[in-house]
Amino acid sequence: MRSYPSRSDRRSPLRKLRTLGIALTAGAALSAASLAAQDEPDPAASPDLFLRANKVIVSPGKSLDNMGLLVRDGRIVAMGKDLAAPEGAQTIEGEVICAAFIDPWSVAGVDASSARSDRVDTASRATDALDPYGQDEVLDDLLASGVLMMRVEIGSAASVSGVGAVIRADGATPVLADAAISARLNTPGLDPVSRVGQVDRLASALGGAKKYADDTAAFESNLKTWEEEIAKKETELTEDFKKAKKARDKKVKEGKEDGEEVKEKKYKEDKRPSPPKFDAKKASLARAVGGEVPMVIHVEQALELRELLRVTRPFTRMRMVIAGGRCALLFADELAERGIPVIVTPAPSSPGGDVGEMDPGFALAGELSARGVEVLIGSGATSASASRDLPLLAAAAVGHGLDEDAAFHAITAGPARVFDLQSKVGSVRRGLHADLLVLSGDPLSSSTRVLASISGGKVVHQAGN
């Protein structure tokens, strides 16, 4: 099991990797093996695990007092006030138990060059760039800070950057290999015309993908009808065969007599319809247009966002998510009405609360949520280690007007819902995956410590050792 104790001295996992030798890499290898077995919790997880706390936050704003939790094979199998620890179960107690934090916008666990690349397309996959080795240190710190899952992207320098994944910080293992397609409309230093141009290019790409999807659908129906016709024709022909043969034999006979070749009857039939030329990029983008996966678009400024909201109206099935959105307040009503969530990144670097500028800084989250927009809080994929700040960012958002439950939602249930994982993680219920935190106090309070991090039923961090 790959569980690092929190570092008490200046020793990094590398050292441990070395000292523990292969045993550790076995862990990493194992987790990578689960690439195939997607989102199923690791069956080889530790034995029974029993958690107890004075307060269990089952979902934002809803908590139960003095509960026990039983974790088995990576899942929460029982919850109850008078639930007792079974024989031989590892027991961890704390003040608060809640769902693990999920960073909806991160590059942690992704190979750095792929994360920064500008050479990716819609068919590129974040799962191809997961690096459990190179970012040992970073991932280790995430486990300690309670951020156990991230939605990761690649190609932060590309306008459209392909299929992102939701991964566990523990070994950078995928939970969901196709979490979202992501695009960017924030190329710095462009003049207004080309800024709008960016949006139009995105729009036409979406349009192209939609057409490709339609063509494919059309081909499939055509093929169906053609096959039916041909089948019919074939049965007819088989029925008429004897007659046809007689006729021919006759001809042949006559032919023999006046020594000339038989002229065969010309046979005609409709050609088999051919599929549209295969295009991996379009095929991938089409899934976002069709709403199979969310479409996350990083946009900060008003011009782009206004344009974007306009051009995307026709794509009714697309599930759009705005990332960044410093100017989102200006369009709060439309965002709320169209149910478009916003991943706010209250970067400490944004000049605070200064309304001379368009950037409301830390107050953005609070004000958007007050206007009925679903707010997620993400670390902004600026660097792999940035995700570590997630609970701090959420807390700071509370300090600037966001409701405490909304802030908690923004880094747990929210991301889980937006990226179709609510049936697995993001809240604490029987049957859900055991991705949990045991805390010494309220999740967002600065004086709270993460006592234990449980990822897919495994204890991946425990304070003190």
Partner 1 sequence: MKSSLSQPLLALGATLLLASSAAAAPQVDKTAVKAGTVITLTGEAIPDGVIVIEGGRVTAVGAASEVQIPWDATVIDQPGMVAFPGFVEAHAARGIDRPNETLDVAPFLDVKDSIDPVNFYFEEALRQGILTINVQQGNDTVVAGQGMVVKPFGMTVEQMMVRPRSGVKISAAPKRGKTRATQAQALRGAFDDLRRYLEEMVQRQKDGDDFDRREALYQGRELEGEAAKGKPLACSGWTIDGFERVPRGEVDEKREPLLRIIEGKLPVIMWCATPMDVHAALRVAEANGFTATMTLALAPACWKAAAKIKASGCSVILAGLEDEELDPVTGESIETFVPKVFHDAGIPFALMSTGDANRSLWYQAARCVANGIPRADALAAVTTAPAEMLGLGDRVGKIAKGTDGHVVLFSGDPLDITSVVEHVILDGAHVYDRSKDVRVKQLFDGTRPPGTASDTSGEEDWPGDGDDPEGDDETENNG
Partner 2 sequence: MLISCLIAAAPLLGATAADDAFALRASHVHVGDGQVVLDAFVVVEDGVVKSVSNNAPRGVRVVEVDGHIAPGFISLRETLGAGSENSERTRKSTPTADLSFAFDPTSPSWKGLVAEGVTTVLLPAGSSQIAGGQAAIVSPAAGEVLKRNAVVTLGLSRSALGSSTAPTSFAGLYAHLGEQFDAASEGSPLADAKAGKVPVMMRAVTRSEVSRALDFAAAHGLKGAVLGAPEADDLVDEIKASGLGVVFESKAAPASSQDVVKSALALSKAEVPFAFTSDAGSQGPLGMRMQAAACMRAGLEAGAALRAMTADAARIAGVDATHGTIATGRAADLVVWSGPPTDLTSRVHSVYAGGHLVHSAHAHGAHQ
Q: State the residues that interact with partner 2 by CB under 8 A.
A: 7, 10, 141, 144-145, 347-356, 360-363, 367, 379-380, 382-383, 385-389, 391-392, 395-396, 398-401, 404, 444-450
Residue 128: CB partners within 8 Å, gap ≥ 6? 114
Q: Shortest gap between Cβ of 13 and partner 1 (angstroms)?
A: 9
| Nearest-angstrom CA–CA distance, 447 and 453 | 17
Q: Shortest gap between Cβ of 386 and partner 1 (angstroms)?
A: 16
Select from partner 1, partner 2, none the partner in contact with residue 254, using the beta carbon and a kind-dependent cut-off of 5 to 8 Å: none
Select from partner 2, partner 1, none the partner in contact with residue 448, using the beta carbon and a kind-dependent cut-off of 5 to 8 Å: partner 2
Select from partner 1, partner 2, none the partner in contact with residue 17, using the beta carbon and a kind-dependent cut-off of 5 to 8 Å: partner 1
Which is closer to partner 1, CB of 26 or CB of 358? 26
**Which one, of 109, 119, 140, 131, lies nearest residue 379 by Cα?**
109
Select from partner 1, partner 2, none the partner in contact with residue 128, using the beta carbon and a kind-dependent cut-off of 5 to 8 Å: partner 1
Residue 415: CB partners within 8 Å, gap ≥ 6? 102, 103, 104, 149, 151, 376, 378, 421, 426
Coil, strand or helix at 105: strand
Select from partner 2, partner 1, none the partner in contact with residue 447, using the beta carbon and a kind-dependent cut-off of 5 to 8 Å: partner 2
Q: Which residues share a beta bridge with 50?
A: 70, 91
| Residue pointed to by tokens 């029974």 | 48
Cα distance between the two ends of the chain = 16
Contacts with partner 1, 232-271, as mask; x by CB under 8 A: -xx--xx-xx-xxxxxxx--------------xx-x-x--
Which is closer to partner 1, CB of 84 or CB of 280? 280
Residue 325 has φ and ψ, to the nearest 5°, of 55, 50
Q: Does 22 bind partner 1 (CB under 8 A)?
A: yes
Torsion (CA) 346, 104, 433, 339 in degrees, nearest 10: 100
Contacts with partner 1, 280-299, as mask; x by CB under 8 A: x-------------------
Q: Shortest gap between Cβ of 438 and partner 2 (angstroms)?
A: 14
Q: Does 17 bind partner 1 (CB under 8 A)?
A: yes
- Residues near partner 1 (CB under 8 A), total: 59
Contacts (CB under 8 A) with partner 1, residues 160-199: 162
Contacts with partner 1, 31-50, as mask; x by CB under 8 A: -xx-x---------------
Degrees (nearest 5) of the Cα angle 41, 45, 51? Answer: 95
Q: Shortest gap between Cβ of 397 and partner 2 (angstroms)?
A: 9
Select from partner 1, partner 2, none the partner in contact with residue 26, using the beta carbon and a kind-dependent cut-off of 5 to 8 Å: partner 1
Sheet containing strand 342-344, edge to edge, reads 101-106, 147-152, 160-168, 173-184, 295-299, 320-324, 342-344, 375-377
Coil, strand or helix at 164: strand
| Nearest-angstrom CA–CA distance, 449 and 439 | 6
Coil, strand or helix at 361: coil
HSE-CB of 384 using CA atoms within 13 angstroms: 24
Cβ neighbours of 187 (radius 10 Å): 12
| Residue pointed to by tokens 């036409």 | 204
Select from partner 1, partner 2, none the partner in contact with residue 18, using the beta carbon and a kind-dependent cut-off of 5 to 8 Å: partner 1
| Nearest-angstrom CA–CA distance, 185 and 161 | 12
| Nearest-angstrom CA–CA distance, 115 and 99 | 27
Q: Shortest gap between Cβ of 384 and partner 2 (angstroms)?
A: 9
Q: Are 368 and 336 in contact (CB under 8 A)?
A: no
Contact stretch for partner 1 (CB under 8 A) within 199-207, 227-235, 346-354, 398-406: 227-235
Q: In whole angstroms, what separates CA 111 from the centre of its chain? A: 17
Contacts with partner 1, 107-136, as mask; x by CB under 8 A: ----x-xx--x-xx--xxxx-xxxxxxx--
Q: Are 459 and 49 in contact (CB under 8 A)?
A: yes
Which is closer to partner 1, CB of 132 or CB of 361? 132
Which is closer to partner 2, CB of 131 or CB of 389? 389
| Nearest-angstrom CA–CA distance, 151 and 175 | 10
Residue 163 has φ and ψ, to the nearest 5°, of -90, 115
Q: Shortest gap between Cβ of 198 and partner 1 (angstroms)?
A: 22
Contact stretch for partner 1 (CB under 8 A) within 231-239, 293-301, 308-316, 454-462: 231-239
Select from partner 1, partner 2, none the partner in contact with residue 150, using the beta carbon and a kind-dependent cut-off of 5 to 8 Å: none
Select from partner 2, partner 1, none the partner in contact with residue 399, using the beta carbon and a kind-dependent cut-off of 5 to 8 Å: partner 2
Site residues (CB under 8 A) for partner 1? 7, 10-12, 14-15, 17-18, 21-22, 25-26, 28-29, 32-33, 35, 111, 113-114, 117, 119-120, 123-126, 128-134, 137, 154-155, 162, 230, 233-234, 237-238, 240-241, 243-249, 264-265, 267, 269, 272, 278, 280
